[in-house]
Each structure stands twice: as C-alpha cells, then as structure tokens.
C-alpha cells in the first residue's frame, strides 16, 4: 500500500509553467517584476537574500491568485503585492513542498509552506493576511543554480537511485 501511495503522491497530470517572476531588492522595498533571472546559490539574482537559506525562493500557485482576489472582493490581484518570487500554474505546488523541483534550468527543494506576513494587510488592505492564509505557496532552497524565465517548465525532479556494483 505504501508504494502505491508514493506513486500517487509523485504523479502529476502535467508539468507546471512559470507565469511571473519577481525579486525584492531590499527589505520592505517594492517587488520588481522580471522576465528572466538567474537562480544563484542564495536566491534569485537581484533578490535581497545574501546567504543560502531554506527560504531562499518563494513560489505561489497562479490559480490561488483568483482565490485571494475573490476573498478580498476584487476581480484580480497583482502578483507584485504578494511578495513571492515565482508564480506557477498547472501543477499543485503544495504537492511539491517537500520535493525537488526543476524550475527552468535550476533545481529547488521545497522546504515548507510560505505563510503570509503582516505586510499583506498593508498591501492588500483589511483582511489581506487572512485571505492569503492557506494560499501563500511554498518556500524552497537552491540545490542547483540555473536560469528561470517566464514560460519555463516546472516539474518534480526525478529521484536518482544510486547503482551499486560489487567487485568480483
């Protein structure tokens, strides 16, 4: 049964796609939208992180933007306001929160949920924090550097099983 469950957990109907990219040049500074950026050992190039971290990159589900907007009584929400680095569509990010995922040519490892911060009240208005709860996406650490562009594929990285040989 456990093998069957593992198979279900690691099977996705389709790969995802990068819909939007943004970096935070400094703490409390506005996000800057980019079309392409490097994934460095510490974060996305141009982002404020200066050392490796389990929260180096934040990702949010494109489909959740409509939910957050609806909960705020709006038709749409600008990804800039949510302060996440990568907006992904077509694949369940929560299913990748403990997995390695290929994003463009880089490799990230999901490290957990990305809870909203108190800034959501400032940027979205009254109730912004609660609207993002459960829809804030995931955090990730960098495993391999690379480049990510809007439109790039996002998918679970295959597990590599080491092959052992015996000496005769």
* Per-residue confidence (pLDDT) for residue 9, from 0 to 100: 60
What are the chain's domains? 18-156 (2.40.33.20)
Give the mean model confidence (pLDDT) for residues 47-69. Answer: 93
pLDDT exceeds cutoff 60 at 75:
yes
Tell me the pLDDT band of 18, cut-offs 50, 70 and 90: very high
**pLDDT for residue 163 is more than 70:** no
Q: What is the pLDDT of residues 22-37, one digit of tens each?
A: 999 998 899 999 999 9
Q: What is the mean pLDDT of the chain?
A: 90
Question: What is the mean pLDDT of the segment spanning 130-145?
Answer: 96
Q: What is the pLDDT of residue 13?
A: 64
Confidence bin at 119 (pLDDT 50/70/90): confident
What is the reported pLDDT for 1? 62
User: Is this structure's pTM higher than 0.85?
Assistant: yes
List the alpha helices (DSSP H) in 24-109. Answer: 62-71, 79-82
pLDDT confidence of residue 168: 52
pLDDT recorded at residue 2: 66
- Exposure of 48 by Cβ count < 10 A (0-12 exposed, 13-18 middle, 19+ buried)? middle
C-beta pairs of 72-76 under 8 Å, 24+ apart in sequence:
72/124, 72/125, 72/127, 72/128, 72/131
């Amino acid at each position: 049964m456990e093998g069957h469950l593992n198979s279900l957990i690691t099977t996705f109907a389709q790969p995802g796609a990068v819909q939007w990219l943004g970096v935070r040049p400094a703490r409390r500074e506005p996000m800057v939208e980019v079309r392409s950026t490097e994934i460095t050992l510490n974060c996305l190039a141009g982002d404020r992180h200066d050392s490796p971290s389990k929260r180096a990159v934040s990702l949010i589900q494109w489909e959740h933007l409509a939910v957050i907007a609806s909960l705020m009584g709006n038709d749409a929400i600008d990804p800039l306001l949510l302060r996440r680095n990568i907006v992904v569509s077509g694949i369940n990010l929560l299913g990748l929160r403990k997995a390695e995922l290929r994003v463009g040519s880089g490799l990230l490892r999901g490290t957990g949920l990305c809870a909203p911060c108190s800034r959501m009240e400032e940027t979205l208005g009254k109730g912004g924090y609660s609207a993002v709860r459960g829809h804030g996406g995931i955090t990730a650490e960098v495993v391999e550097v690379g480049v990510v562009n809007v439109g790039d594929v996002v998918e679970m990285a295959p597990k590599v099983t080491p092959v052992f040989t015996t000496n005769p």
